[in-house]
A and B are shown apart, each in its own frame.
Chain A
């Protein structure tokens, strides 16, 4: 494993963070986000247009020769921290990270132009729970015609283009399907800020962007990148929960004292701080290993996902508990974070799945 990876934030990364944060602070208020749960649209499209257009986030991971910014996983991870901090309902992870990675790895960079420009978004049509090393869920093809449904797909509702893994006799293929040709059924999701949908592609026109090994590699790389970088989103969620709880406990009074002065609570917050800082180290390492294409990449990704997924959930649970009654309410944003954190815990493989994968990678077999 490389000992020289920088786990700190560079100046460039900090400036990316500043611009994303200031835009989100203006346009992604919690009231808007919570409206998603009542069937509102929260101006998601405009928000994504602004992030993609004004800040160029859609183009971040697109190589320069295909009209992108050619930035690395390090910058993308900082963006995800901020998106997590605001539970922003935008398809950055699903389109600009996962689908984009699939296309780059598939050697289909020429298709990335409209994505980079923010004119289109894409989604990889597999269940959000798919882990990077398991079997790849795929639809089938019957004499060239697609058949089947991809379930629980994140980002499908906003997508213009679907990247669909297709199992054929000759092996796996990755197909490009126009979203309007698929039957997309929105599901009422635990996390409405990243809503899932079932995607039926039966009979939809499709063209293969990669076949065999290349298709397999592209899908796995996309999933692994998703797992590695979602750790940063989870860090952002956890950080918000910690900051918000600390701030609240510094003003809330009971028994004639500031509640945050009670040692039982101070100790829980200290433990939470230790956990968030640990999650930061794990998330940074995953991003740095990805950016440097380090051989330790798979370990770094699974390590980060195994740790940060639980960290975000615990931070959100503590946030609600330590806010007392207000933490249980619809009007306080804490629940948005709990829902995101819990859904993220299942996404791209559960901590348990990543433990199993690590056991293989680091030679600690179960039996």
Chain B
């Protein structure tokens, strides 16, 4: 028997024990989720005591399947995508023991939702150019500045924040990473309406926000390094999920094709089949990447998955509108809403088409990701840098 089979057996026993002690039919949802976390079955690749068992990442799917079959509640990962995909792995990698103990459990159970306070009006792709300041006043870090395009800030309890702590240092070296309490009176969140009509993201104004030193993540001046870890995880999180065949946008389009024979046209069939192949190959590529990572940290290869995901979701959602013909001319609802969850596949074709435009911008634009693949994977020369060793305060802005 191989080691993997042993581990799967052991996991099965643990799941059975959890289900025996906390019958999903009679246990409160949150209580069940907490117990699951404490049993190490939340994310099995995390360390013991922090919701995991230190096992290979791939084995999580087995646990999820068993629990779903038993009708156990899940933590609805869509509600806290940034928390689970970005904040958690970064806290795990850079947090102190107290920080890991304090933040990971309520993050995983969804009791505390997270957002990402990185981008600014003057610093998007060039994140290291950010200008939000954090100054130590002897007691607190006092933060002032403005963030933008902050998804889900309106429902978040915590934000991962990068701020400038040393304007004298070159831009990459003068930043520090913080965990920001979004309920602090200095935090103001204003909806920012987007192309779909709704306001999924926000502007966030930070005025004298006081952050205690216990909420600094990583060393002072280490912010860029910590942020890079977040971003690599983000790229795997976007489009790197373990889904079944036809699990994403291709499933939506294929389903329409099957249900609506009157819509079928030869030219669209050729495109559909090409995209079906590409979507399935992309799924297998993601699977291969995850098998390779097993339990390790994502590298620049995650950028490749994100590039493919963005291209496919745009091409597929475009195809869907064309396939629908007259119906494709309609749109569900333009009223401004602030959604709790972004359900990509759940809305109508027009929404999907418009929302997909963000897939090649959010979490690093496709242009930036191609730079990363070219430089870090293929080793091609870096873009010329005019700002490398200049103190941040002397940079033209």
Q: Which of B16-24, B133-141, B262-270 contacts A (4 or more CB under 8 A)?
A: B262-270
Q: Give Cα distance in the complex from A1 to B370, angstroms.
A: 32
Q: B254, A364: Cβ atoms under 8 Å?
A: yes
B123 proximal to A (CB < 8 A): no
Say yes or no: A281 contacts B287, CB within 8 Å: yes
| A366 CA / B384 CA spacing, docked (Å) | 50
Binding site for A on B (CB under 8 A): 61, 244-245, 254, 257-258, 261, 264, 266, 269-270, 272-274, 276-278, 280-282, 284-285, 287-288, 291-292, 301, 304, 307-308, 367, 369-371, 373-375, 377-384
Tally A residues with Cβ within 8 Å of B.
42
Q: Is the CB of A274 within 8 A of B373?
A: yes
Q: Is A270 in the interface zone, CB < 8 Å from B?
A: yes
B232 shortest CB reach to chain A, Å: 16
- On whether the beta carbons of B282 and A250 are closer than 8 Å, the reply is no
| Given A260-B380, A277-B285, A277-B304, also A366-B269 (CB < 8 A) | yes
Contact indicator A7/B277 (Cβ below 8 Å): no
Contacts of A266 in B (CB 8 A): 370-371, 374-375, 378, 380
A280 to B282, CA, bound (A): 11
Q: List 24 A-B contacts (CB under 8 A).
A: A7-B284, A7-B287, A8-B292, A246-B379, A249-B380, A250-B379, A250-B381, A260-B380, A261-B383, A266-B378, A267-B367, A270-B378, A273-B378, A274-B304, A274-B307, A277-B288, A278-B281, A281-B288, A306-B277, A358-B273, A358-B276, A359-B269, A365-B261, A366-B269
Contact present for B381 and A260 (CB under 8 Å):
yes
Complex alpha-carbon distance, A260 and B378, angstroms: 10
Closest 7 CB pairs of A and B: A261-B381, A266-B374, A355-B273, A270-B373, A270-B370, A281-B285, A281-B284
Contacts of A365 in B (CB 8 A): 261, 264
Query: A281–B264 Cα gap in the complex (Å)?
Result: 30
A364 touches B380 (CB 8 A): no
Decide if A284 is an interface residue (CB 8 Å cutoff).
yes
Asked if residues B301 and A359 are in contact (CB atoms below 8 Å), the reply is: no
* Across-interface contacts of B276 in A (CB, < 8 A): 358, 362, 364
Assess the B254–A367 pair: CB atoms within 8 A: no
A11 at the interface (CB under 8 A from B): no
Is A307 an interface position by the 8 A CB rule?
yes
Residues of A contacting B382 in the complex (Cβ-Cβ under 8 angstroms): 261
Q: 1/0 contact trace for A174-186 toward B, CB 8 Å? A: 0000000000000
Residue A3 lies at the interface, judged by CB distance under 8 Å to chain B = yes
Taking CB atoms and an 8 Å cut-off, the chain A residues in 259-283 that contact chain B are 260-261, 263, 266-267, 269-271, 273-274, 277-282
